[in-house]
Structure 1
Amino acid sequence: MTTLLHVSDTHLGNRQYGSDIRKNDMAKAFDQAIDIAVNENVDGVIHTGDLFDSRTPSLPEVTHCIQTLRKLDKADIPFYGIVGNHDRKMDEQWLDLIRETGTAERLSREPTMVGGNVAIYGIDSVTKPSWHSKDFTLEPPEDSDAFTLLCMHQLLAPPIPGSEDFMADHSTGEVIDRVGIHLDALALGDYHKPEEDVVDDVPVWYAGSTERCSLSEEEPRSVSLLKIEDGSVRRRKRELDTREFAPISIDFSEGDAHGRLNDVLDQYNLENKVAHVTLRGERTALTSSDVYSAAMDRGAAVAKVKDDRGRQELDLGGGPEGDIQNPDEIIDNQIAGEDLSETALSIDERVRGDEGLPKSKDSVADEIEQDVKQAQDEAFSDDEGDAAEEVAE
């Protein structure tokens, strides 16, 4: 039997609500996950993307990550990862740097054998514009009886609830069709809630994030312990001890102020919790700063105040509900509808993701112009080479 721990969406460095306490909470949750792996003496840990919360984590965040992974290294437990949409860079990835320390390995479309008879694969997060041109073909394992497990960081339906057109980016069935080999299981990241399903006889699941990254993520945070034997996989959730949230909604009428606020807050135990307070109704003399101070005075570790007072309620006509897309996702959706070349897609990815680009528009334009010229030179060079071969023939 081969035992693996599936960890995902750790978002190290995430200063949720601008709080260093929450950034430390993200790191502590990752530490807990690694401790579970060591205590269970697993054969390996798989991480399905968004190890870090951004493309540019700080040096202390990277250092702490490596120090945590050294606990696995000391226990002779390998750590296998893929790149998520949050921490994806243009060329070399943070996982490549961490690999140089000997504490992690980056999965690919070639099999990584674990426990003797489990072949693990990985495909990094794929942007919508690149989806249809991306090569998903996996190299078959030498042992045809090996259990094949693919790790991806993608929003796929199912198991994501709802229609593919709304929340998910693509269909799971399409992935299974495009890998080119028999797939025994698909472990996913990017969706922060634990979900599972079976698609074309393939078990598919999300482990969920290790910490709450939004108020809507109400389920207990967890990791998945996988036991693979005789061609099948059994999964068991291992819950993590994470900081509690206290969602509070306060409706104000004209003239309400501190008395109304205190009456509501006194109903909650905020000690050491994340207090998320939403204000609704009429605008009053009470400020968001007053609410923040009142929550912190009651022992909250972190307070977030969302002031919706005085806002007109819109009737969305029973449309879908969900988190607002971030700008990168909106741009990806727009570009996906255009017939752009690989060169154009790579330039778009560089402009949006290369932190090393100059800050001024003129300097960026100069660098991108060089990229275009290089692509043209390579294309014409290829054409000349093809012509020469035809003459030689």
Structure 2
Amino acid sequence: MSDTHLGNRQYGSDVRREDFADAFEEAIDYGIEEDVHAVIHTGDLFDTRDPRLPDLNRCIDILQKLVDADIPFYGIVGNHERKMDDQYLDLIGRTGTAERLDRTPRLINDEVAVYGIDAVTKPAWHAKDFTLEEPPADTFTILCMHQLLEPPVPELFAEHPLSDVLDRVNIDLDALALGDYHESVGTVEQGTKVWYAGSTERCAVDETAERCASLLEIDGESLTRRESELDTRSFLQVSIEFAEGDGHAHAEDVLDRHEVAGRVVIVTLTGESSTVTARDVREAVMERDAAVCRVNDERGGPEIDISEGPTGEIESVDRLIEEKLAERNLSDIAVDIEKRVRTEKVAPSGFADEVTEQLTEAQAEAFDGEAAPNTGGDE
């Protein structure tokens, strides 16, 4: 399995946080029911690098089911949860419920050798050492990674070519199990089976395919991958277009045409401005027993003529801010982040992770792919 993103409070909802944990637990239960010999997780176990204690405890409680069934859990660290030093997967490992994969093979039934390489930042990619310890003879080899590779990821979304990995790994790989891409896709390259299991819950409204976990059946040199769909909460997109004079009755009429109960409902408001607010629409959706509702208001407002701005000694606020920032000798990346926060409409749910990734990559680039020196402060 992959990309469980535990702790993801999607759309600011605690219901969604529970949904992500429930999907992870369902996937674990499926492995127990199938009496598997091991469970592997290809990164982004958690949604952030600092998960809440309740999310950590829920994760450990779920993994304890595997311990009770005598099934090992092996994982790697994804880009969402990656820290500069020790990882939360290491902390969980101290409870005896999980083990972090590395370049040394973990043997399953003396027949399968499993390796892991954590998510690699873009600046560190070309200097990354992909050398793996030689596996025992006559074992089926699987490498787990958390990267966007093409194929099977479409070139538009990929970060690196798949051949980069296969050419730089020093052993013959039978399989490459990947994470970070949230759809279940696969291919065969240079005789190596390559696939993404996909995420166990929907992390975005456009992730429309069913969520699943993969059952791997290995017999000698043969691997068969079978997908099992998970019973996750359904999404519904509703569009309400307002004409001049349309009010609450129009919005209610459109909502009455849809079954919203128990669903994550995304409503988009278009057309003319009206007395109906986004809050009104959200309340109407929740009154119909939706689990979660998000409203995107894209209606046009009144036209304002800004061709003639203020005159005299009044200066632009942005210009004043930028002059003050210039006096502080900030780095280019700090200036860029500040400007985006101040001048753009950023999405709170993803912007923090995006900035963290940007800072991590800048650190890696500044220190040639190594961790920044420990100055005694926060990372």
TM-score normalised to structure 1 length: 0.80
5 Å-filtered alignment, 1:85-96, equals 85-96=79-90
**Residues 1:288 and 1:104: Cα distance change in structure 2 (over 3 Å):** same
* Percent of residue pairs identical: 55
Q: Work out the CA distance in 2 between the residues paired with 1:251 and 1:175.
A: 49
Match of residue 315 from structure 2: none
* Counterpart check, 1:22 vs 2:16: yes
Maintained 8 Å contact 1:98/1:104: yes
Higher mean alpha-carbon deviation, 194-203 vs 117-126, is at 194-203
Match of residue 355 from structure 2: 327
1:258 positional shift: 1.2
The letter for the 1-side match of 2:286 is M
The letter for the 2-side match of 1:296 is M
**Residues 1:56 and 1:203: Cα distance change in structure 2 (over 3 Å):** same
The letter for the 1-side match of 2:206 is S
Match of residue 266 from structure 1: 256
1:328 positional shift: 4.3
Match of residue 147 from structure 2: 154
* Counterpart check, 1:300 vs 2:285: no
5 Å-filtered alignment, 1:216-231, equals 216-231=206-221
Q: Work out the CA distance in 2 between the residues paired with 1:333 and 1:263.
A: 49
1:332 positional shift: 6.9
The C-alpha deviation readout for 1:118-177, integer Å capped at 9, x for no partner, is: 11000000010111111111111121x21110101111111012x2xx311101111011
The C-alpha deviation readout for 1:80-137, integer Å capped at 9, x for no partner, is: 0000111111111111111111111110011111122111000000010111111111
1:255 positional shift: 2.1
Maintained 8 Å contact 1:117/1:146: yes
Match of residue 194 from structure 1: 184
- Say which of 54, 57, 61 aligns to 1:63: 57
**SS of equivalent residue, structure 1 residue 129:** coil
Maintained 8 Å contact 1:187/1:205: yes
1:341 positional shift: 3.9
* Counterpart check, 1:253 vs 2:237: no
The letter for the 2-side match of 1:228 is I
1:342 positional shift: 2.4
5 Å-filtered alignment, 1:346-365, equals 346-347=371-372, 357-358=377-378
* Counterpart check, 1:115 vs 2:98: no
Q: Work out the CA distance in 1 between the residues paired with 2:248 and 2:43.
A: 44
1:280 positional shift: 1.7
Please list every run of 5 or more consecutive structure 1 residues that lacks an aligned counterpart in the other structure.
1-6, 312-322, 359-363, 365-393
- Say which of 64, 72, 77 aligns to 2:66: 72
1:254 positional shift: 2.2
**SS of equivalent residue, structure 2 residue 193:** strand
1:230 positional shift: 2.1
1:331 positional shift: 5.8
Maintained 8 Å contact 1:250/1:277: yes
**SS of equivalent residue, structure 2 residue 58:** helix
1:335 positional shift: 8.1
Match of residue 371 from structure 1: none
**SS of equivalent residue, structure 1 residue 174:** helix
Match of residue 226 from structure 2: 236
Maintained 8 Å contact 2:236/2:264: yes
* Counterpart check, 1:46 vs 2:40: yes
Match of residue 368 from structure 2: 342
Maintained 8 Å contact 1:128/1:332: no
**SS of equivalent residue, structure 1 residue 128:** coil
**SS of equivalent residue, structure 2 residue 70:** coil
TM-score normalised to structure 2 length: 0.82
1:329 positional shift: 5.0
1:257 positional shift: 2.0
Maintained 8 Å contact 1:129/1:332: no
**SS of equivalent residue, structure 1 residue 346:** coil
The letter for the 1-side match of 2:69 is A
CA RMSD of superposed structures (Å): 2.3
1:330 positional shift: 5.3
Q: Work out the CA distance in 2 between the residues paired with 1:17 and 1:91.
A: 30
Match of residue 163 from structure 2: 173
- Say which of 260, 267, 287 aligns to 1:277: 267
Match of residue 106 from structure 1: 100
Q: Work out the CA distance in 2 between the residues paired with 1:310 and 1:158.
A: 41
Moved over 4 A (4+): 328-336
Q: Work out the CA distance in 2 between the residues paired with 1:278 and 1:85.
A: 31
Q: Work out the CA distance in 1 between the residues paired with 2:221 and 2:115.
A: 16
Please list every run of 5 or more consecutive structure 2 residues that lacks an aligned counterpart in the other structure.
302-349
1:347 positional shift: 2.6
